[in-house]
Amino acid sequence: MAETRHVVLVHGAWHGAWCWASLQAELDRRGVPSYAIDLPGHGASVRPLGGLHHDAAHVTDTLDHLGLDDVVLVGHSYGGAVITQAAAGRSDLAHLVYAAAFALDDGESVNGALRSFERHSVALGAAVQMQDDGTTTLDHDLAADALYGSCPPEAIAAALARLSPQPVATMTESVTGSPRDDISSSYLRCLQDQAVHPAHQAVMASRCSEQVDIDTDHSPFLSATNVVADHIERIARA
């Protein structure tokens, strides 16, 4: 019987590795090994904040440190841009999972992709607050509905308390390379998403090998944990 693949989880903007705790606990119950990465300056990381390429380099360094083959690399939201950049040119990845994430094409940035898509409004836009130091933060009252509309109140309160600043450069730097040309991929599209519009997700899902629709908010690791675990387990054991 083939060994179960390891899963590496990359969080999105303003978040940290902490956001994957419920999903990791469920994967543990299923015997699927996983690692969650704190991108620089987020969660418990003491590294400086940086742009997209800075974040992706940290992911590649972590993958090199783990020394694993046949890894399932998962990105949520902005984390999709990170895993796209990190995966370019690697031969040790089995599959890329984009969870309501930015599955970017070569030369595309998060902001650039959004500008190129048909215009749709989401609640997250009103929650974003620009800071003088080149970062953005979120208004917690508005972010609750934008990010966690289907989540339990206790989980929302705990998540909001751990959100941290996000550098603008992460949204403006472009990815180099198209790893989905060589690595199979899947897209988890969240149909009630108020952060990345489902219509925009559909465009990016069309760039992947497979699309799975989930009737939930932007944070399926909290609101639809078992559904996400089902998909990841299937890929990890394939």
For residue 106, what pLDDT is reported?
A: 97
Determine the average pLDDT of the residues in 38-51.
98
**Entry pTM:** 0.98
Res 2 pLDDT > 70: no
Residue position matching structure tokens 């990890």: 236
* 115-171 pLDDT tens trace: 999 999 999 999 999 999 999 999 999 999 999 999 999 999 999 999 999 999 999
Residue 223 has pLDDT above 70, yes or no: yes
Question: Is the four-CA dihedral 221, 226, 231, 237 of positive or negative sign?
Answer: positive
Nearest C-alpha neighbor of 42 from the set 170, 165, 128, 221: 165
Q: What percent of the chain has pLDDT over 90?
A: 98
Assign 97 to helix, strand or coil. Answer: strand
Condensed to tens digits (0 to 9), the pLDDT of residues 202-222 reads: 999 999 999 999 999 999 999
- Is pLDDT of 233 > 80? yes
Q: From the CB of residue 48, how many other CB atoms can be counted at a distance below 10 Å?
A: 9
What strands lie across the sheet with 71-76, from one edge to the other? Answer: 34-37, 7-10, 71-76, 93-99, 184-190, 210-214
Q: What is the pLDDT of residue 4?
A: 97
All domains of the chain, ordered by start, with CATH?
A: 7-237 (3.40.50.1820)
